[in-house]
Structure 1
């Protein structure tokens, strides 16, 4: 075959075939159908075939939320030849070896994939011709839709361009592919999981702990603590890792070949000890996340409603030192400022003035860091009540929510290309305009996911707040009125306000000024690699990280310092870590009502 291999030109018109209609097989079928492919499923059991059809028909629309494609058709077969006669891809999802009959019945240009996770595919090639071997690979799925990961691995003969092609098709089908660098007994995660299983069983066998304690500490460390294996070793220090492993080797009579000896030869002898070393460790020094010990300067908006003299233009932009001391007032005379953001490339701050709610007198303005050169990006008379403001640093766009305008808008930094991207209701209709379910408040942008997120807070303390997402690029042929890509991320929230996203960790954070016990809080939801909610163990479906704020509003993540900053209308500025712990109050001033916050 060689490097001249090209995918079938008509693969889009040919079916994907899944051999096996069991629990996993029907989910794999649903994945490919959700990407717009017609799928054939072969299984000798009539019951399994019927269950497969029912599962795909019931769930393909929800899978398609990850692909945004028109789902393909599903068909089931008893006869193998009929099922695979025109396939471009055949995936076996049954625990059996690839048989000669598949080699001879499938088209000569089709790709043959085994879902086996415990055996090398080369061990399943006893009766497969040399001509076919380059078209075979291992392609292991876990349990969709909870885990949308697929691992790819060569059979020892697989044409490399096929692996690349299948990685691209897997992304198209809404899964996240990982490709093993060489053939292995067990995929990447299988081998990692195998080691965890062995050690868990050893702990139990030695009466060191119990199953529930093991699971509990695992959840605290790996899920909540976000401990990652290789970054964790770099953080501890590879010399320390080697020292600990030597003790296990001596005690258990293990071989040091692929642990201590590997570390010594490839890392320690070269002075690569981890994050404490300029040469790096398992990660190169350029990829090691080094904490920025320089504390940022904080910029905070005082809406002005708690000032001694009531004035709708008493708002200020304040500059704070990291310890909470007001260094100076950058701008005064602002009409109820609410959202603020900083663009590091232009060294400019952008903020939104709400104006008087109900009047079309909101505005968006930029200025230098010292408050000079204030301009108007969006002038009064265009928008109603702009709230949180977020910058897309990639496309140089400003996103902001217009509460009484019932919409989300964006424009360029200079105000050009002004457009409505979400219209939640008709502001000219008095009933819709007064319905707080339509009020858009918080906004954040995730360019790496191709999505933006916003809150619609619902009635005050009403428990009807929602978080939505939509694509940065409006679906082709659709408009703000017809777009069908809007998704409800969470519903039934007390009263969600400002949003921020950690794109690296795929974690969505928000403040909520709703009623206790879950309102007036900082919250977090983990997302999958496509930006949709991961299954969550907490009863609420998300994590409440910090509570008992005083009308929580502002939120800003400082990820380089593992820090979150918060504000509330009670005149408080808080700092905590990214898990909401170790919260300290940097400022408390009853004569201020604080809204947006950012840092330089």
Structure 2
């Protein structure tokens, strides 16, 4: 398996910047390409600020060293042509993904592989026309990837079987937490799980059982505390005297009843969306969203620090 020493970042919005930090902190040479005018002048200060926040949180002891691993390429070919791995993180739109994927494929070195950041588009929707599509696949992170380590690895029907294996090894090497899917499914794993929870949350709100704040509180101060360090299967495994099968025997019928109730039409009803949005805007005006996102990232860093020490 060819070593991956040089990584190209294609598209350097917030997601691409996070990816650059992920690879730089692992000692990789990172080449960043973004099509915006004066890209480096816009992007470098944002990366510097993110590294300073990580340093303040105790998650980065050498921000200058990490920054030194990064450079900016003037053209796509300059970034990709010397890369062992390419992380594409351009705008989340199929036509944009198709165009940039074809351009990457045209200059992708023979030994290199390419992962695309996408929240739910299957790779087969935008990689089918690429000459090097066998070495291209979906690598779905959570934003920001330098603070939330999960990465979903999703092959297309024509992905070379060795490529997801190599991609997983890379993610483990750089400190991410990879999840490998055997085949494509809309939304992958993370967003399907999140979608199921959101479906139930909107239904409970629409049917008048609880407020948006109290539903949030149930997750934030209940489920989420455990989910920060264990998943749903381990959670129930520890919640019955004899483990998971015992839990399923004891409580399975109750949950089956919930599932039967959910067969009704429980879409995200417009009135529920409007009510939830109104509650959120009362609690947090739109002008406060940016500051609250910064608070979120600070909380993520505190959790990461605690998990590292635990």
- Could you say which structure has the higher helix fraction? 2
From 36, 41, 47, the counterpart of 1:45: 36
Shift of 1:529: 9.2
Deviations 1:365-397 (A, max 9, x none): xxxxxxxxxxxxxxxxxxxxxxxxxxxxxxxxx
**Contact 1:248–1:254 (CA under 8 A) maintained in structure 2:** no
Task: State the TM-score, normalized to the length of structure 2.
Answer: 0.70
Aligned pairs for 1:5-404 within 5 A: 6-7=1-2, 11-12=4-5, 15-46=6-37, 48-60=39-51, 62=54, 71=66, 72-94=68-90, 95=92, 96-98=96-98, 99-129=101-131, 132-142=132-142, 143-225=144-226, 228-234=231-237, 235=239, 237-239=247-249, 241-253=251-263
Distance 1:241 1:191, change over 3 A: farther
Superposition deviation, residue 112 in structure 1: 1.0
Aligned-residue offset at 1:28: 0.7
CA distance in 2, matches of 1:205, 1:199: 10
Residues 225/17 of structure 1: CA separation in 2 closer, same or farther (3 Å cut): closer
CA RMSD between the two structures: 3.2
- Distance, in Å, in 1 between the alignment partners of 2:89 and 2:146 is 16
The question of 1:531 aligning with 2:308 is answered yes
Secondary structure, aligned partner of 2:129: coil
Q: Which has the higher strand share?
A: 1
Deviation of 1:115 (Å) = 0.7
Corresponding residue for 1:382? Answer: none
Matches within 5 A, 1:510-589: 527=304, 531=308
Deviations 1:309-330 (A, max 9, x none): xxxxxxxxxxxxxxxxxxxxxx
Return closer, same or farther for 1:39/1:192 CA change in 2, 3 Å cut-off: same
Distance in 1, Cα, partners of 2:198 & 2:14: 23
1:25 Cα shift?
A: 0.9
Deviations 1:151-207 (A, max 9, x none): 222223333333232222223323222222432222322221111111111112112
Is the 2:134–2:158 contact (alpha carbons within 8 Å) kept by the matching residues of 1?
A: yes
Contact kept, 8 Å, 2:105 with 2:133, in 1: the verdict is: no
Tell me the secondary structure at the aligned position of residue 217 of structure 1. helix
- Structure 1 unaligned blocks of 5 or more: 1-5, 256-524, 534-600
How far apart in 2 are the matches of 1:111 and 1:167? 12
Secondary structure at the residue paired with 1:127?
coil
Work out whether residues 81 and 105 of structure 1, in 8 Å CA contact, stay in contact via their aligned partners in 2.
Answer: yes
Q: Distance in 2 between matches of 1:59 and 1:248?
A: 43
Contact 1:53 1:75 in 2 (8 A): no
Question: In structure 2, what is the Cα distance between the partners aligned to 1:126 and 1:40?
Answer: 26
Gaps of 5+ in 2: 241-246, 266-301
More contact order relative to length (CA 8 Å, sep ≥ 6): 2
Larger Rg: 1
Task: Give the whole-Å Cα distance in 2 for the aligned partners of 1:88 and 1:76.
Answer: 16
Gap change, CA 1:208 and 1:112, over 3 Å in 2: same
SS at 1:108's partner residue? coil
